[in-house]
Chains A and B, each alone.
Chain A
Amino acid sequence: MNPNTIVSQTKPLLEYLKKRREDQKFLKSVEIALTFTTIGFFLIFAIKPTAVVISGLIGEIKSKQLLVKELRNKINNIVIAQDNFAKVQERYRVVESCLPDSPHFYSSSNQLRLAAQESQINLDKLGFGFESNTDNHSQEKPIDPNLGYYSISLSQNSDFTPILNFISKLQNSRRLLVLNPIKISLASSKNKESTSSAASLVFSLSSRLYFWQTANEKK
């Protein structure tokens, strides 16, 4: 048998086998690609909603557990705070005298009058002014946004030592106040003549007096 004849007879067979193998490989690849596409489809439409809902529920449970723990701590702290408050309840009056529930205009003016009297200054004029905590014109930062305040201003002739005494008395008084601008200047001769005393200085000050606002009590 001629070898060329054998090659010419087996060549189409080998080519057929090769093509068949390639087809099989292609089919396998398509099968794998389709399998992954199906997995992706199920992941989107079946696994994703389930996973999202389950994780959401677990998150809710965890947050509730956290809140329960925090609230238990809070309740314990409130009980401790109640006990502590009961121990110092009789001293609440001290807090009230420092930071009253209402403006207490009379007591604040009285405080200034008595402090002035003790410093041998005769106060004959006091000005009350109201500002809002949320007032944009107010350049100063409020101590606490829950606190209400009003200002008292005065201007008086006196000597230097009584003025210093008066300011130190105000600073050592129990009522919470902030002394804002204190101006001391020489009294003009016209002023001196008009006042009976020989006071050489004119001083003016403005102070802010704080109190708890009713809105704060409701909380």
Chain B
Amino acid sequence: MKKNKLASYFVFISIFTVITILIYIIQRSYDNLMKPVNTAKTSILSKPIDPNLDIETLDLIEEKKEYLP
């Protein structure tokens, strides 16, 4: 009886270990998958450029007086 109890413990521990290893592998893989994507998203290359020129400010500057030398 004692032998059987010990065997069931072994089974439980081995199943638990396999599940833990599986979760660890999935977590590592997901981390590896998302790391380059997140790096690309935060990199300076992906900073957007606004092509619109602020014409209103240009008009505003033009309205001001220029003191020529």
Contacts and interface: CB of A to CB of B under 8 A. Distances in A.
Interface of A: 22, 25-26, 29-30, 32-37, 39-40, 43-44, 47-48, 51-52, 54-56, 58-60, 62-64, 66-67, 70-71, 73-74, 77-78, 80-81, 84-85, 88, 91, 94-95, 97-98, 106-107, 110-111, 114-115, 169, 172-175
A122 B67 CA distance: 17
Interface residues of B, number: 47
Given A63-B39, A80-B51, A110 B4 contact: no
Contacts of B29: 51-52, 54-55
A59 B66 contact: no
A110 B62 contact: no
Nearest to A115: B67
Given A48-B24, A81-B49, 17 more contacts: A22-B3, A29-B11, A33-B7, A35-B14, A40-B21, A43-B25, A59-B32, A63-B37, A66-B41, A74-B45, A77-B48, A77-B50, A98-B64, A115-B67, A173-B64, A174-B64, A175-B67
Contacts of B10: 29-30, 33
A91 B56 CA distance: 12
Interface of B: 1, 3-4, 7-8, 10-11, 13-15, 17-18, 21-22, 24-25, 28-30, 32-37, 39-41, 43, 45-46, 48-53, 55, 58, 61-62, 64-69
Given A66-B46, A78-B51, A95-B61, A107 B69 contact: yes
A67 B39 CA distance: 10
A22 B64 CA distance: 100
